[in-house]
Chains A and B, each alone.
Chain A
């Protein structure tokens, strides 16, 4: 998961840190710092969420690779969206030895309040290539209107 700011597990997951890994993590951090200053992202909240908007909709996106989208629980109440589910990363076979275990999973339940009212009946969710996109149409009352000037 690519957070804008390191999570609490950063950068070592147990064991003695490998110098090459430290260097890579440093490089990655500098890349992030170069990219842009992060907005206030709560560290350790899973999964990280991006919210955007255009004239018609709000869009909520999150990266949940390899999940069953049918098991997600998405609900909307007024302008509050709740996203609950579980990303399971099971041990695939008995008797195997792991060289690396970096992928993270777990149960989650996140609520976010959108900065405007939405039309709850027309909310759509789409899961593609491991990215969940929820499209929330803005309520008619909050849509920007273009005012024509009569001459």
Chain B
């Protein structure tokens, strides 16, 4: 229903090329769970303002791209560095069972919540057996 988009070498290079800023690109950690109505995807993208997040859907490929503004001021120098900051990028392929017209996204405190509803026919139904 949803699976990681595999990057072939050409695409990986393209991904690097389309980056406008120097520095590493990170994959956000995600949780994906499913219930009868659809899938929910949660992605940790700390440092990304809601307006700096791009969610692109074309040809069943869902692309998440988050731009991080450098949090440090200009005159700051490092004392201790345990983590790097950089932009986020990750792609998934959606199955036809996702209703692409009804995807909803919210972003709060660096966490993206994406609701991916299933199309009606894909929802499970219980068939009642009539006695007769």
A→B interface (CB under 8 Å): 1-4, 18, 20-21, 23-24, 27-28, 31-32, 34-35, 38-39, 41-42, 45, 48-55, 58-59, 61, 63-67, 89, 92-93, 95-104, 112, 114-115, 127, 129-131, 133
Contact = CB atoms under 8 A, between A and B. Distances in A.
Interface residues of B, number: 46
A66 B71 contact: no
B113 to A, nearest CB: 9
Contacts, number: 154
Contacts of B7: 20, 23-24
Contacts of A35: 23-24, 84
B24 A67 contact: no
6 contacts: A27-B12, A35-B84, A39-B81, A67-B109, A99-B2, A102-B31
B80 A49 contact: yes
A66 B48 CA distance: 12
A99 B82 contact: no
Given A63-B47, A65-B110, A131-B110, A50 B78 contact: yes
Interface in B60-100: 71-73, 75-86
A65 B75 contact: no
Given A21-B4, A52-B76, A53-B77, 11 more contacts: A20-B4, A20-B6, A20-B7, A41-B83, A53-B76, A59-B72, A59-B76, A67-B109, A99-B34, A112-B80, A115-B79
Nearest to B80: A51
Contacts of A2: 24, 26, 83-86
A52 B45 contact: no
Interface string B11-28: 010000000000111110
